[in-house]
Structure 1
Amino acid sequence: MKTAIIVLALLTVSVQGKWPHLRTTWAPVPGLGGFNPEPRTQVELNAEGWVKLSSCSDGDPNFPGDRYARSRADNDIVLVFDGNGFIAGIQTIVPMDKAMNDEYHQYSTDKFYQIGDFFGAKAYFATTYFVDPSIICNGGRTQSEFEDQGTGNLVAMQTGPTIADLHYPPLVEEDAMTSDMWYEHKCFFNMGVHYFTFDYNPDQPCTEVVPYQLVYIDGKLNGIVFQHIAKLDSPRFESVNALAINGIVDTPPTCLLDLTETPGVSTMHVYVGDYIIVC
């Protein structure tokens, strides 16, 4: 039997209920770093001084919504808002000069990454939506829907150049258990029960690995983790070493352990629910 979990993603309201939070970055001790609350409304964005990257009115063919970065210098996350000013998704960024393309991993051919512009600099974006992307610039959510759902009511990972290309991960752990894509791994405190596309084969090529983890608690998806083959400098990313990988991955592929040394592996937990988890 499983217990605990947490990180970022989403669950339909009918399955899980309201998602009350949007927090990023795991830390060893809550209250002493990490678990950073991120804005979920336009009012919060304005109060914190976030900078608009693009908007619905731009008609961006790749990424819909009003998209905001913490600042022009903070090239780590972009928050996606609908036209009514409610949270709709999150992106993490791998700057082009940090994205290694070699026999271990190919950013240029990985369908979970899209090339985009970050204030004039090209970068790879990994994007997860918390609502149906088709509504983001076509009505958005109402105040009552936001109050009822919280951060969102689903998880959709972009797998191509437009929102016609999406992967919907299992919203309940029971479905993840029978998935031919996601595999159960280990539980870790203040994280939860992890699912990866690692298939327990030490010779599995890292080119086959999806840059996400799923995390479940009490059988329900409560978050996701972005994982990038890159050494990313932002303190909002978590630098991963072999000890950490062995703590959460059952029989990790050898290439992943090698990549923690060169060029590095960076992750970011994104939580939509409670983050105090005991395994």
Structure 2
Amino acid sequence: MIPSSFVLMLAFVTNVQSLSVSDGIKRKIEWDTLKIRWGPDPSVSNDEVYVRQPRTVQQALQEQYKPLPDTLGEQCVGKTTIGYRYWKGNDTGAILIFDKQGTIAGVQIAFPRSSIKGNHYSFGTQKMFNTEMINGIAMYTLTAYFIEPPLICTVGRTLSQLEREGTGTGLFLQNGTNPMIDSIELPLWENDMGKTKWVKGGCFKTMGDYFFFSQSSFFSAHHDHLKFKGQLSGFGWAIVANLNFSRRTERVLTPAISTFLIPVPTCIPKLNDELGGFTTQHIYFNTNPANLEC
């Protein structure tokens, strides 16, 4: 079994727009979009790759999104999630979270617990995986927020703030049952990553530089291995399972692992082959091709 401290999610950072505090310029993130699912050409956006997501409830309704059933989408403060949740076509691979004012506030991926085969990964003991019944199905959920969680149901953001600030003002990954106090805030700039437990992997063209959250001993030598200075352009989930529940997920091919995971633990390629590929999902805040080069 892979230890629960192994890779759970990934973040990728641009290697351009490299302002630092010492430059004497106020750093501003440029999150002008919200797209889901990787493709080989970030300039192409359609219903298969770099799928553009609505950033207001009004837009979501126009695009046939609906609140989650059984009142889950109608209450802002839920059992393990905050915000108003919407989905399209009953696809739990891309649940959008909106705040009090109907502005995008986060995303969630949920997959059936019954789809997990074997004991390769301890989902039940990993805090970032919460459990919930959605549409009568027992699910594992992974949740990310784009503004401070306590603001989602109390203040929210106006349309003018969305236009001025972009998709979000930060990235907060829920790491427990209470998003108010259990969310991990990620640095928005690469030159701040060395102060955290995020460790640098490789650089993948069309994704940028990878960082993985881990406390495993085989990563310890790489905590300060930072080559570029840039802003956060997106993040992703990496799930140790072969899941086929959504069109919004991807499959990891074994030869590609060494391009973004450095070093590659000896058990990973073998397990990836046994499972038929891990399941991943990439979420982008900025898809300017120049920002995703190596």
For the criterion TM > 0.5, the same-fold answer is yes
Shift of 1:153: 0.1
| Corresponding residue for residue 62 of structure 1 | 80
**Aligned residue identity for 1:19:** W
1:23-42 matched pairs, under 5 angstroms: 23-30=35-42, 31=44, 33-42=48-57
| Corresponding residue for residue 246 of structure 1 | 258
Task: Determine if the alignment matches structure 1 residue 189 to structure 2 residue 194.
Answer: no
Q: How high is the sequence identity, in percent, across the aligned residues?
A: 29
| Residues 148/56 of structure 1: CA separation in 2 closer, same or farther (3 Å cut) | farther
Shift of 1:199: 7.2
Task: Determine if the alignment matches structure 1 residue 21 to structure 2 residue 42.
Answer: no
**Aligned residue identity for 1:177:** G
Q: Structure 1 unaligned runs (5+)?
A: 6-13, 205-215
- Aligned equivalents of 1:151, 1:66: Cα separation in 2: 16
1:148-227 matched pairs, under 5 angstroms: 148-163=164-179, 164-179=181-196, 181-197=197-213, 218-227=229-238
TM-score by length of 2: 0.79
1:138-153 matched pairs, under 5 angstroms: 138-153=154-169
- Aligned equivalents of 1:218, 1:275: Cα separation in 2: 17
Q: 2:237 touches 2:282 (CA, 8 Å); kept in 1? A: yes
Shift of 1:221: 1.4
SS at the partner of 1:71? coil
Q: 2:129 touches 2:175 (CA, 8 Å); kept in 1? A: yes
Aligned length: 255
| Residues 275/242 of structure 1: CA separation in 2 closer, same or farther (3 Å cut) | farther
Task: Determine if the alignment matches structure 1 residue 124 to structure 2 residue 140.
Answer: yes
- Aligned equivalents of 1:217, 1:16: Cα separation in 2: 17
- Aligned equivalents of 2:32, 2:14: Cα separation in 1: 20
SS at the partner of 1:43? helix
Shift of 1:198: 5.4
**Among candidates 106, 109, 113, match of residue 125 of structure 2:** 109
| Residues 59/185 of structure 1: CA separation in 2 closer, same or farther (3 Å cut) | closer
| Residues 149/122 of structure 1: CA separation in 2 closer, same or farther (3 Å cut) | same
Q: 1:239 touches 1:266 (CA, 8 Å); kept in 2? A: yes
| Residues 153/217 of structure 1: CA separation in 2 closer, same or farther (3 Å cut) | farther
Shift of 1:18: 3.9
**Among candidates 131, 137, 140, match of residue 153 of structure 2:** 137
TM-score by length of 1: 0.83
**Aligned residue identity for 2:59:** E
| Corresponding residue for residue 255 of structure 1 | 267
- Aligned equivalents of 2:216, 2:288: Cα separation in 1: 27
| Corresponding residue for residue 91 of structure 1 | 108
Q: Deviations over 1:252-272 (max 9, x none)?
A: 112322331233301111000
Shift of 1:117: 2.2
SS at the partner of 1:20? coil
| Corresponding residue for residue 45 of structure 1 | 60
Shift of 1:224: 0.5
| Residues 217/34 of structure 1: CA separation in 2 closer, same or farther (3 Å cut) | farther
Whose radius of gyration is greater, 1 or 2?
Answer: 2
- Aligned equivalents of 1:223, 1:76: Cα separation in 2: 17
Shift of 1:15: 3.3
Q: 1:24 touches 1:269 (CA, 8 Å); kept in 2? A: yes
SS at the partner of 1:147? helix
**Aligned residue identity for 2:188:** L
Shift of 1:110: 0.4
**Aligned residue identity for 1:61:** K
Shift of 1:128: 0.5
Root mean square deviation, CA, Å: 2.4
Shift of 1:56: 5.4
Q: Structure 2 unaligned runs (5+)?
A: 1-12, 17-25, 220-226
| Residues 251/59 of structure 1: CA separation in 2 closer, same or farther (3 Å cut) | closer
